[in-house]
Amino acid sequence: MSLVTNRGTAKTLAKTLLDEKSDTFFSQTNQNNLVDEANRIVWRELINTNYEYFLDTATFTFPANAERISIDGETGDTPYKIIDIGHTPSSGAITPNNSFTQWRPMRFVERYQIQKQGASGRGTTASYHFSLVGEYLYVSPIPTATLNVHLFYIAPLGALAADGSALLGGRAEDVFGDCVAYCLADLMNSKQQGQNPVIDRLWMEAQGRIKDHATSRNSNEGGHVRVTRASWE
């Protein structure tokens, strides 16, 4: 099990690898900013390899005769990525008798054309398209009945507020804590314009470990739509 689980221990290991015994070159503020960057880099690597570490779900209703809703009110913050979204004919869990109808992603400018094409069937059994624009979830065609929505998504990663803050949102396995520290050491080494082959090797090996270990969880992504929020990155 990794001993690197939070911001403080990531900084300690990175500075040990770089033989930085004080905060002379990097202030605490600079270190904290770089840990956030390293944490986000490893987080993205894990999402690209196996998003299930960070998968969240939400259920809510989309009102009849509405074109859009603010999704922040349903998830607490605008999703970083929508993995899957759709509706069921009744409220409650997805079951064989309450089957899930997947929505398809659309470009925002396509919504009016889709509304015209789907004007004849817009109830709970209809097929819908969606677009995430900022905090707003747009649905087309505009439904004539309230929809019971099931959302599978990745929430944005918040900044590490203190040295005790858990890396990777506390969601991934401890084995990836060292990876954040190695990424941090690589970032600090680059800022110093250093040439440290040991640091380079450790970070390269960590990237391979991320792919190998995360993939071994046997994620099945078949059929998922995976839409990333356009305003991010």
DSSP output for 19-49: T--SSSSS-HHHHHHHHHHHHHHHHHHHHHH
In the predicted model, is pLDDT for residue 123 greater than 70? no
Say if residues 102 and 85 touch (Cβ distance below 8 Å).
yes
pTM recorded for the entire structure? 0.83
For the chain, give the percent of residues with pLDDT over 70: 87
Cα radius of gyration rounded to whole Å, the chain:
22
pLDDT at 169: 93
pLDDT at 124: 60
In the predicted model, is pLDDT for residue 229 greater than 50? no
For the chain, give the percent of residues with pLDDT over 90: 63
In the predicted model, is pLDDT for residue 225 greater than 70? no
What mean pLDDT do residues 185-194 have? 87
Domain ranges of the chain: 7-51+161-215, 54-155
- Among candidates 146, 113, 148, 145, which has minimal Cα distance to 129? 113
Quick: pLDDT tens for 35-89. Answer: 999 999 999 999 999 898 899 999 999 999 999 999 998 999 999 999 999 999 9
What mean pLDDT do residues 155-179 have? 92
Say if residues 18 and 200 touch (Cβ distance below 8 Å).
no
